[in-house]
Each structure stands twice: as C-alpha cells, then as structure tokens.
C-alpha cells in the first residue's frame, strides 16, 4: 500500500533568539573556563532539552542562591532577576555572571529611569513569570503595578493621578494582545509615557508574524517549545487566532498528537525562542518515518542580531 503523504511547512525565523543563544554560550563557556560544577539559578532558558544537555556537561540548576555551595560560579538566567539576588550574592562574596537578555535589561533600566522621574509605572505582563518577577524586583515593592489584561487596563486607577504615568511590557508577550492593552491605556491616559523603543523583543515579534503567515497555508500547526515558555505559548495562541483550528505545543517528537493531525494535509512547524533546531529536525524525522513528506520553508523575515558575552568570559 502506498504511503500517505503530508506537506510540512517550516516557519522562518524560528527557534533560538540572540538572548537565548548568548545565555547558553555563557553557561558553556563558564564550564570550559572554570570547570564543573557551574551553578545556574533557575532554568537558564525555558527548555528541558537545553537544560538537560547542560546538566550533562556539568551545570547544576537550583531554585535559589541558598542552594549554591561556597566557592563555585553561579549564573543568573536569561529572564533576569530582582535586585535582591545579586545583592545576596555580593553579601555572600559569590562569583556570579548575569546572563539576563540585554533586551530584558533594557526594560529594567527604563523602570529605574521612570522611578527616578517619580512616575507611576505599569508593567504589562503575566504574574509569576520569572521575567516579570525580575522586572518588578528592580524597584521597591509597590513601585510597579502589574496589568495582565484589557480588563485590568480598563479598571486601572493611578495611585497618584498628579504624577506622570509610564508603561513597560514583558518582552515575550502576544504582540496583538499587548497592542489592545496599550490602546486602552492610551485612550484613558493620553499622556502616558511609552517605551522609546518597543519592549516586546524582535524575536517574539518576528516569530509571531512568521506563524501568522504559516497559518494561512496550513490546516495544523505544531509549536516546538515548553509549556512554561511564554513566547512558545503565545505562538500556539497566535496560530489559533490566525485561523488554524489545530494548534498544538510539543516539547519533543514523542509528544506529536498523531490522531489530531490525521486529516491535516499541510502541517506548519515552528519553534519558540528557547527551542533548538535539533528538536525541529527530530519532529520532521518523526513525520518522515510515517509519511511520504515534502518540506518547504516559508521565510517571513531574516535575523542578524547577536549579543556580546560578558567580558569575564571573552578571554
């Protein structure tokens, strides 16, 4: 019997962004320079495959600095940390390297600048996400107010109406949903201060635009990523809102929902910003074993962004 055929469309860009690539390099170079073990506070990026590969090389992932023994290097994750974390490290005289994505650090500096100008600050983001915890932790409790939804924006009441108002955003949000929230805030507070340059990172924006384009040509979309990865979860939502009824998150090829994809002839595949290309290849290979496939790439934009490593690792 002839093998069934499927068409796979790969989104471009997909997978690693410059901040994730830099963070992983920081751990690998620290292991080379200082030897194992190197401790990392929280997952360096939200992807178990990446974390487990680094563990095999000698990285040890912990929840808090209190879990780190004396006289070993410790790295802070790409999502950024509250100011209390490096303060604790310095108090313990620990050697630490900050792998915070430079685009997240930009949001931190914006928060400090607005606070210095005595402005009331709104952060658009998801409660409990490490990036949000880190950004809110740049200032004393209560200085930054979290807005998660359009409804929150409609109900928001400034504590100091006479003060200036500014908003910041988590870097990995849905572009469209964030725009809806910002539109409400700007309508209610016409003089609200916006970021000088968009806070949502280039990679998040590009991957969401690529998935919108992908969804036009597919009857199913698979997003390779992790359920605790904000940018990956947003890709599933974007594909669904773009008209793809079957939009699924998979961490590995073993998670592919074959039954749901039975009637899909054209399947789009993308990967969140913390998912490596090896996992894309693994998923494609899984399809190849079951079907006669054709593979095509749909390029929506090109990326050439790189970030420098910390000086301590450059030598």
d(CA 38, CA 19): 20
Establish whether the linkage from the previous residue to 13 is cis, with ω within 30° of 0: yes
Q: 148 in helix, strand or coil? A: coil
Could you give the CA distance from residue 185 to residue 152 in angstroms, rounded to a whole number? 10
Q: How is residue 147 written in tokens?
A: 């807005």
Nearest Cα neighbor of 203 from 108, 302, 310, 127 is 302
Any catalytic annotation for residue 64? Answer: no
Active-site pick, 131, 162, 177, 262? 131
Give Cα 282 distance to the centre of its chain: 22
Q: Please, which residues have CB within 8 angstroms of residue 104's CB and are 6 or more apart in sequence?
A: 19, 78, 79, 80, 131, 134, 135, 171
User: For residues 9 and 218, is the Cβ–Cβ distance under 8 A?
Assistant: yes
Distances (CA, A) of 43 to 50, 218, 226: 9, 33, 12
Tell me which residues are annotated as active site: 131
């Amino acid at each position: 019997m002839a093998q069934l055929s499927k068409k796979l469309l790969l989104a471009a860009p997909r997978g690693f962004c410059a901040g994730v690539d830099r963070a992983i390099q920081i751990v690998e170079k620290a292991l080379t320079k200082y030897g194992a073990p190197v401790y990392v506070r929280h997952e360096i990026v939200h992807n178990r495959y990446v974390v487990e590969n680094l563990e095999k090389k000698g990285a040890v992932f912990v929840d808090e600095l209190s879990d780190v023994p004396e006289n070993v290097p410790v790295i802070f994750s790409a999502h950024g940390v509250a100011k209390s974390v490096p303060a604790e490290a310095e108090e313990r005289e620990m050697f630490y390297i900050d792998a915070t994505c430079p685009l997240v650090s930009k949001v931190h500096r914006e928060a400090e600048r607005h606070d210095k100008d005595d402005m009331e600050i709104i952060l658009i983001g998801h409660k409990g996400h490490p990036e949000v915890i880190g950004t809110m932790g740049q200032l004393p409790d209560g200085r930054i107010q979290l807005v998660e939804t359009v409804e929150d924006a409609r109900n928001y009441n400034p504590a100091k109406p006479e003060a200036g108002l500014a908003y910041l955003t988590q870097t990995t949000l849905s572009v469209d949903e964030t725009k809806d929230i910002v539109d409400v805030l700007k309508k209610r507070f016409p003089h609200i201060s916006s970021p000088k340059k968009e806070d949502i990172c280039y990679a998040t924006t590009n991957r969401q635009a690529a998935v919108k384009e992908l969804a036009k040509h597919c009857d199913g979309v698979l997003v390779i990523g992790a359920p605790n990865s904000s940018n990956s979860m947003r890709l599933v939502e974007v594909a669904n809102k773009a008209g793809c009824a079957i939009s699924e998150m998979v961490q590995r090829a073993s998670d592919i929902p074959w039954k749901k994809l039975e009637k899909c002839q054209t399947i789009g595949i993308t990967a969140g910003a913390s998912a490596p290309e090896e996992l894309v290849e693994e998923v494609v290979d899984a399809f190849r074993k079951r079907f006669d496939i054709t593979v095509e790439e749909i390029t929506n934009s090109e990326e050439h962004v790189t970030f420098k490593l910390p000086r301590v690792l450059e030598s």
